[in-house]
Structure 1
Amino acid sequence: MTIQIHFLPDDITVSAEVGEPMLQVAQRAGIFIPTGCLMGSCHACEVELDGKTPICACITVVPAGKKELTINLYSDPIW
């Protein structure tokens, strides 16, 4: 199943497969998401899913059950 992923604030949309790693989708779209530990504990890769839920992109895959998702990238001045 293919899902449309819309990255903000860059306003880039890309198709992704359910189960595809979120970092891989972002990279394919030309979006840089900073990473640290790649295990979800440092939160360097934290993004916002559909305007409300923070997720760690390094341990998240494209979920099933939706036709589109919005990923809001925000920058942490510490990273």
Structure 2
Amino acid sequence: MSVHIRFLPDDVLIEAQVGEPILAVAKRAGVSIPTGCLMGSCHACEVELGNGDTICACISAVPPSESEVTINLFFDPTW
């Protein structure tokens, strides 16, 4: 099953497979998400979903529950 992923603020839209790692989808789309530990504890890769939830992209995958997911990228000058 495929899901459309929309990365904001640049409005980049890409098709992804359920279970595909968010970081891999972002890389394929040419979108840079900063990373640190790659284990979810440093929160460098924290992004906000369209519904307001925040996730660590390094340990998250494309969910099966929606046909389109919006991911808002944060800007943190310290990373």
Paired position in structure 1 for 2:40: 40
TM-score (norm 1): 0.97
Paired position in structure 2 for 1:65: 65
Measured in 1, the distance between the counterparts of 2:75 and 2:23 equals 16
Measured in 1, the distance between the counterparts of 2:77 and 2:25 equals 24
4+ long deviations beyond 2 Å: none
Paired position in structure 2 for 1:22: 22
Contact 1:48 / 1:54 at 8 angstroms: preserved in 2? yes
How many residues are aligned here? 79
Gaps of 5+ in 2: none
Paired position in structure 2 for 1:10: 10
Gaps of 5+ in 1: none
Quick one: percent identity of the two aligned structures? 63
Superposed CA RMSD in Å reads: 0.7
TM-score (norm 2): 0.97
